[in-house]
Amino acid sequence: MMLLPRWFAEAILLLISVLAFTNAAYIGVNIGTDLTNMPPPSDIVTLLKSRQITHIRLYDANSHILKAFANTTIQVMVGITNQEILKIGRFPSAAASWVNKNVAAYVPSTNITAISVGSEVLTASPHVAPILASALNNIHKALVATNLNFQVKVSTPMSMDIMPKPFPPSTSTFSPSWNTTVHQILQFLDNTGSFFMLNAYPYYGYTTANGIFPLDYALFKQLSAVKQIVDPNTLLHYDSMFDAMVDAAYYSMEALNFSKIPVVVSETGWPSFGGSDEAAATITNAETFNSNLIKRVLNNSGPPSKPDIPINTYIYELYSEDKRSGPESEKNWGMFYTNGTSVYPLGLNGGGGGGSGSADLNGTMLFCVAKVDADDDKLEDGLNWACGQGRANCAAIQPGQACYMPNDIKSHASYAYNDYYQKMKGVGGTCDFDGTAITTPRDPSYRTCAYTGSPNANGTGGNFPPTALGPASQVGGNANALIISINHLPFLATLALNLLLLL
């Protein structure tokens, strides 16, 4: 067998990362672990795959979680804690050791594509700030030494607090007390082709503004003509506080003569519950914010001052962290319960609670079908479960009906699996069936047989009203799926990973 050089596989991975960043925006999710009943890593992977989530950010480099993501192609951002920065910033050997242990040891099986060095260091751990730029440089040099610097980018998340007056965006600047440190960081990001990580929370922007901005502005809702938010200097209109926050970062960087560093929103979200003095922290507002956020990000446009630069964004967070200290809202940012069901309906319709089918974020329909090599006995068990306990509508695969032929177990199982998946995905239903099923963007419909979710499904009764089965969300109705995906060349990613494993 001809062995391909390692650089060939690495070149494919580099091409994937470049196309992924420039082709279209993506939505990722933050995964915190400060909760009482943290699901096992395998369950986390299952949840993410079932919801088509392809980008995650970790706050550390948990070995169990990183191992679980092996061979998934999910893009992983690992984190260096604020406590680790001092040692890494002072000693290049410590940085090399960290990269070898927490990145090189898992690549290429685990698709690590970024490292976040600390979290809001300038405001949360100011004593560490003077050495932050050194830590970034040392980590990057360690990546160069392991030949991973093209695949793995390095940055550090910043709080909105480092911009004292973010509105109007055009006059926003970084706090003068941090100018030297921020300039060093921006120089590093510019030199290495990395991105500026911004933790942008309209929830806090709204709750601390003392009524200056309307709630609808924070929730991406359309404002009346008399309430339009306009920058008086540029006359640019801001339809959401989120866009204004991102633009404030761009203008602040430009004030220090950096104009080519893209902004990635490393954290944003909305709490679904709060204390008696946290009136805005409601499940309805959380649902509205995150649903509209997904729509906003995935229209592939940037903020008003940078309309051609999409805003890649990570939602905070996957699970609520009940062990966090602080106000009640701090414990209620999660979008999913630990059993995998949604806290509230969340989809692409901006309001949740409706919609059918299982489209990924490119608008591509995902269908659930039987694997080609699946065992017939397991397929029969899966078919019986789907048509029975799973309550799939299996009328179309009965003798004489539109999907009865071909009369074989794989065809019938595929139809039943897909019907169940389309109806139950929003409340935790997955496309697995004991390992006999797989999702595909290819419509499996044929001749007169239209699969549930297909544009032509009316002919066989495949389109469906919102299901009444499964656990109800706290706001009524069933929790629709959070379907977060972007087509980052999964075939090439798998090919590159397999090639590297063979070298």
Catalytic residues, by residue number, are 120, 267
CA–CA separation, 344 and 321 (whole Å): 16
328 upstream amide cis, omega within 30 of 0 = no
Q: Which residues contact 397 (CB under 8 A, 6 or more apart)?
A: 403, 404, 411, 412, 415, 416
Q: Which of 119, 105, 108, 278 is nearest to 197 (CA)?
A: 119
β-pair type (437-440, 367-370): antiparallel
Strand order of the β-sheet with 153-155 is 153-155, 112-117, 75-80, 55-58, 27-31, 313-315, 263-268, 196-199, 157-159
* Coil/strand/helix, residue 419: helix
**Nearest one of 319, 328, 433 to 370, comparing CA atoms:** 433
* Residue whose structure tokens are 């935790």: 428
| DSSP, residue by residue, 218-259 | HTTPPPPGGG-EE-TTT--EES-HHHHHHHHHHHHHHHTT--
Half-sphere exposure of 368 (CA within 13 A, CB side): 31
Other beta carbons less than 10 A from residue 470's beta carbon: 16
Q: Whole-angstrom Cα distance, residue 267 to residue 188?
A: 21
Count of other CB atoms within 10 angstroms of residue 334: 25
**Omega into 164 within 30° of 0, i.e. cis?**
no
Strands 112-117 and 75-80: what pairing? parallel
- Those residues whose C-beta lies under 8 Å from the C-beta of residue 31, and which sit 6 or more positions away, are 44, 56, 57, 58, 59, 65, 317, 318, 319
Tell me which DSSP letter residue 95 carries: H
* Residues paired with residue 265 on neighbouring β-strands, in sequence order: 198, 313
Q: Pull the structure tokens for residue 434.
A: 């004991």
Tokens of 110: 């685990």
Structure tokens at 122: 């300038």
